[in-house]
Structure 1
Amino acid sequence: MDHTLQKLIYDVKQRLDKLKAQYLLLDKPSDKKDRALFEKVKRETDPLFTLIQQWYDESIQYSKMNAHTNVFPIQLQNTKDNFELVLMHSYYIDVPKKRYMELYHSIHYVLNQQLDDLQ
């Protein structure tokens, strides 16, 4: 499980970095209710929602089996929620950059703590 979790963490970090680049490069959509935009977002985000759910499930299992972990279940839930927020904000560009970066750094912090635990 450790190897699987480690791979998932690296995958999440990589996707998170791509989302940040997208957030910084894209312009705010002119019409958030545009059906084509919705379809694009749905198509592109479905695999990411699946990835974050896999990471979360593996992380919860790891935390239950390893009492020495520095990441608690509530942090895992918050990180999952934050990733989902970042995911949507990366397409709709509807939060200030400062808030976006706070979420981004928070996610990376927890993921890095997990990687430290796995060492």
Structure 2
Amino acid sequence: MLLVDYTNQLKEDLQHLKDLFEQSSPPEDLRDKDYFEMVKEKTLPVYELLSKWEELALKIIKESKISVHPNQIVSTRENMELLLMHSFYIDVRRRRYMELNRSVLYVFDQLLRAVE
């Protein structure tokens, strides 16, 4: 099923972002255009996948009446987008980052359990 594949790929991306956050330093200049372009290039596929995932998840929730609320899907997309930026710019406290990470992971796992 496509939703399971999307969700599993996003879980891998989430782990990669967490590793990046924990092992990287913030950029020296937040206005560095080259760094911005590199971030944009690396995050674009995740943004695109996240958009497809959200659309498909909301459709399946509406049709199947599974135990995940549509607001959770929307919030998860938003939180994942925050994590994408925080992972490269390291501009949030570790505790806040981990809360967002756990929240996203929780909904991914909840969704996987509901559709399997």
TM-score, reference length from structure 2: 0.98
Shift of 1:78: 0.3
Look up the match of 2:56: 58
What letter matches 2:74 in structure 1?
Q
Per the TM alignment, residue 70 of structure 1 is displaced from its structure 2 partner at its CA by 1.4
Question: How far 1:118 moved relative to its partner?
Answer: 1.2
- Distance in 1 between the 2:88 and 2:114 partners? 32
Distance 2:112 2:42 in 1: 27
Rounded to whole Å, the distance in 2 between the matches of 1:98 and 1:91 is 16
Provide the identity percentage.
36
Between the aligned partners of 2:91 and 2:69, the Cα distance in structure 1 is 30
Q: How many pairs are equivalent? A: 116
Which residue is 1:73 aligned to? 70
Residue 79 of structure 2: aligned partner: 82
Instruction: Structure 2: give runs of 5+ residues left out of the alignment.
Output: none
Task: Compute the displacement of 1:66 (Å).
Answer: 0.8
* 1:48 alignment partner in structure 2: 46
Moved over 3 A (4+): none
Match of 1:95 among 73, 80, 92: 92
